[in-house]
Amino acid sequence: MEITTQTARSRIRQLFGQLSRFSLVGFLNTAIDLLAFNLLLWLLPTQDTQLLLLYNLLAQCVAALNSFAINKFWTFGDKNPISRQQVMRFITVVTLCFFCNLPLNWFLTNLFIASSLSSPLWMNVAKISSIAGTAVLSFLIMRAWIFATNKGYLLPGDTLTVTAEDVPTVTASRSLSVVLLVYNEEITIEHTISTIIHTLSAWTNDFEVIVVNDGSEDSTEKIVGQLTRQNSYVRMISHQVKRGYGAALNAGSEVATKELLLFIGADSRFDICNLVDFFPLIEDYDAVLGYSHSRYTSWVGTLNGWTWKQLVRFMFGIKVHDVNCMFKLFRTDFFQTHHLETRGAMANVEMIYRFARAGFTYTEVSVRQLSLPGKKVRNIKIATMFATLRELFFCAGKWYREEQTSSMDLF
């Protein structure tokens, strides 16, 4: 009861704080809107209704830019990079509020003019009345849809409670090794492992969670170490220094002892319950690859991911929705005879490339994503992009020579 009360208080304080900041921003936006509107009236005086509506539109556009920036970073505390989806949602809400505001403003403006109240004062009264009518609607939509940074996050005083009703019913016919790749995940790692164990325990007792700590510099290793002592399902491989993505994949796959092998990144946000859709397919295919239509990234990250997919498709013939999606289920025997050579982002490409070349089959399934407590979007560094491209072209040349050699050996 005490925790529930604390959670409720936290949410109320958060809501009150956001509403207070939104109100202040609203006053500022109104001032900017009125200033721009009156500036147009002063520079280009008119009593024509259509021109007045145009002035109103231009003034609202200026205020909208201010509203997006301040509400995003201050009111709702969204520190993530601006994404294309977020901008489009904001434009949608602004358009909706505009179409709610415009008819009311048009009605009041004509009413005042018909009553011989055509001075700038009454034009402003019409504007203020229409602005007030859409302010509450705007706040609710922004909080719930555009800048919902706490959606799926744990607030101070919250506890994670997962009940049996939350886990879908499924029977796992094969044993499962979950390889969890982590780097500096002290905020989320306990939450992630607990959720995985709770979910899998409802399906089978024949599973293991292999946590590969790739040189974390925070408390990740300590937290996972405590979990391994408390739970027999959890094992940890710890690199003292960061060796790279491919090395972490190899380390986990080499010690896996179960029939199936699931790769999942601790920061990938993918719901472990996605396996409900994977288990039936793994009986007909050697691997099931996940992909997501809505990655938690900025528009720059989205563009980079699309470009990367096209390069991989062109150079290696790998036609998958999302080659870097870190939710992949394989039959473990493939990794008993194949080891990844690459260490960076090319590890995912090499995995699928060698898998297909060896004659194994795979299919793809759309996967759901969750928000994890305290996670932030990681910006893509220019140096990392160039390093990845360099590795891409190096591997392309190397693998092409391997194919040529294999072809000659056949004759």
- Assign residue 201 the CATH number of its domain: 3.90.550.10
**Which carries the bigger pLDDT value, residue 81 or residue 239?**
239
Residues 9 and 103 in one domain: yes
**Which of 84, 112, 146 is where one domain is finished?**
146
161 within some domain: no
In whole angstroms, give the CA distance from residue 204 to residue 216: 31
In a domain, 158, yes or no: no
pLDDT at 340 over 90: no
Classify residue 313: in a domain, yes or no. yes
Residue 133 lies in a domain: yes
Based on the domain organization, do 330 and 297 belong to the same domain? Answer: yes
Q: What is the pLDDT confidence band of residue 157, given thresholds at 50, 70 and 90?
A: very low
CB atoms closer than 10 angstroms to residue 386: 10
Residue 164 lies in a domain: no
Mean predicted confidence (pLDDT) in 199-218: 90
Q: What crossing angle do the helices spanning 346-357 and 299-316 adopt, rounded to 10°?
A: 30
Of 146, 180, 214, the last residue of a domain is 146
Instruction: Tell me: do 138 and 241 sit in the same domain.
Output: no
pLDDT of residue 236: 93
Cα 177 to chain centroid distance, Å, stands at: 25
187 and 130 belong to one structural domain = no
Give how many domains the chain has, as a whole number: 2
pLDDT at 262: 94
* Nearest in space to 348 (alpha carbons), one of 287, 303, 294, 406: 287
Assessment of whether the complete model's pTM goes beyond 0.75: no
Confidence of residue 221 (pLDDT cuts 50, 70, 90): very high
**Backbone angles phi and psi of 397, in degrees to 5:** -65, -45
- For residue 1, name the pLDDT band (cuts at 50, 70, 90): very low
Q: Write out the residue range of the structural domain in which residue 82 sits.
A: 2-146
Q: Quote the pLDDT of residue 4.
A: 40
State the burial class of residue 366 (Cβ atoms within 10 Å of its Cβ: 0-12, 13-18, 19+).
middle
Q: Which residue has the higher pLDDT, 267 or 253?
A: 253
